[in-house]
Amino acid sequence: MIAMVLSVFTGCDGADHPIDHPRQPGTVLITFHEGRNWLSYLTFFRVFKRAKPPQIALWLEEPDGTFVVTLYVTRRTAAQDWRPMPSENKGEIRRPSALPIWTYTHVRGGIQPIESCSACHDRHRSAVKSTEGDPFLDSITGATPETGFEREWKIPPELKTGTYILCAEINHSFDYNDTYRKDLPAEDPLENGVNGQPSLFLAGPIALGKTASRVVLRPLGHGHPAGNDGRVYEGLEGMTTALSIVRTIEADYHP
């Protein structure tokens, strides 16, 4: 997959429209431009509708696929903070299908070792999911805004200069379509729990060194529909509305 990322982006110099934004040195500014399906809607009792923004994770990998660091992840996925049904125990709800690639990948170590993630992992079994006041979680998590947004990431001093793969995963639950249908039998390879369409995976190389660089991430595949593993499945066949959650994700490095 990483080799495909690099070949797809050969000769690409990033966004068509440079970002005009006051910047601190040594930062990466990531801009999420919302697509027409940025918000999805849940209907209750056939009358009430609730808008729901997507789940997102953003992280760096080495060109060989080694996890480096999480730049951003939505709080609900990090803490497994899902709204329970009347019969559910909040501390027992797990939705690995939300962002399975990031969920499996980020436990591999990197400059952000798994021990530092215990702040959110310890909340998985708790009925209290609040992350308020935790410096580590404050630095990497947040609620997804209802429109596109920017996220500025300060490069940690221990990160070596070089070319990395910037990865993004994005997903709506209950995002069913004619291919990823609701209530498929467990033996069906497209069975997806409450997920519907699987998470969309986007990536692109970004050089972090002495000169500025920019990249627009491109969709390259998807996660497992039920979240059974952390593989990137190439191809986007059968995906519809999931392809227009975001219009573009672009990253601008300021040395």
> Could you tell me if 161 and 210 are in contact, meaning their C-beta atoms sit under 8 angstroms apart?
yes
Give residue 244's Cα distance to chain centre. 15
Q: What is the pLDDT of residue 12?
A: 41
Q: What is the pLDDT of residue 11?
A: 38
Three-point CA angle 1, 231, 221, nearest 5° = 55
Give residue 180's Cα distance to chain centre. 20
pTM, 2 dp:
0.83
d(CA 65, CA 42): 36
Does residue 167 have a pLDDT over 70?
A: yes
Q: What is the pLDDT of residue 80?
A: 67
Residues of the chain above pLDDT 70, percent: 71
d(CA 44, CA 75): 24
Helix ranges (H only) for 12-117 are 75-79, 100-105
Element (H, E) at 200: strand 200-208
Neighbour tally for 159: CB within 10 Å: 15
> Could you tell me if 204 and 189 are in contact, meaning their C-beta atoms sit under 8 angstroms apart?
no
Q: How confident is the model at residue 188 (pLDDT cuts 50, 70, 90)?
A: very high
